[in-house]
A = this chain, B = another copy of it.
Amino acid sequence: MDVLSIIGIILGFTAIIGGNYLEGGHIDALINLPAAIIVLGGTIGAVTLQTPWHGLQRSMSMLVWVLSPPRVAFRSGIDKVVGWAQSARKEGLLGLEALADTEADLFARKGLQLLVDGNEPETIRNVMEVESGLIEQRDVDAARFYEAMGGYAPTVGIIGAVMGLIHVMGNLSDPSKLGPGIAVAFVATIYGVGFANLIFIPIGSKLKDCVRNEAKFRDLIIEGLISIADGENPRAIELKLSGYLR
């Protein structure tokens, strides 16, 4: 459970609504259904047009990471690699075959399989780096989905505001209608800038951090497997991989 995400969202909205209240503003002046329809509908329309189906699915399923990021335990990852190295020492590469069959992490499992099949270290590295790169690219794209929303929302908010102002301009000769009309128009601006900066962009940024962290973990697995393939001893492997704990 990532408490910081929840604190961040609550803090942002509380500060803005609370500050507005202290200034004497009414919260109901900030609630406007048509503005919400314009900003969210236009933003979702734009990202739906630009995103392929599988990318949309991945973006949706990654959203859960905001509250519960994937646990990437580098310490236990190193321990696991060292365990593999010890098995390989005692029972030869074939001793890893049983471990490969029970390994839960599909990426590590494929690496062990390549190792057991007796591939060259360079081949293992190439295959695994290509796969790791493709996974990272797919997930970075999925995180950029939210950044794209953060890019579209303010501009769609401007469309909403200008449409509101056009509506207001029809009543320019009646000043008493002018003020409230402009106020409504401005709410679209707030929705666009607010959703983008308090929700979409930070979420995209947090997800990209998770993605990079997982890529780093896969790097650790790759380095470890290559070292085993090179026949290095477990203690040396542990020393080498300890850099990932930083």
- Chain A residues proximal to chain B, CB less than 8 Å: 2, 4-5, 7-16, 18-20, 22-25, 29-30, 33-38, 40-42, 44-53, 55-56, 66, 69, 110, 113-114, 117, 119, 123, 127-128, 130-131, 134-135, 138, 141, 148, 152, 154-156, 158-160, 162-167, 169-173, 175-176, 178-180, 182-184, 186-187, 189-190, 193-194, 196-199, 201-203, 205-206, 209-210, 216, 219, 223, 236, 239-240, 242-244, 246
Contact = CB atoms under 8 A, between A and B. Distances in A.
A44 B194 CA distance: 14
A219 to B, nearest CB: 8
A28 B141 CA distance: 39
13 contacts: A2-B52, A4-B56, A11-B41, A11-B45, A18-B37, A23-B164, A23-B167, A29-B167, A110-B243, A113-B239, A130-B223, A130-B243, A165-B182
A191 to B, nearest CB: 10
A16 B29 contact: no
A50 B190 CA distance: 20
A49 B206 contact: yes
Nearest to A156: B197
B12 A42 contact: yes
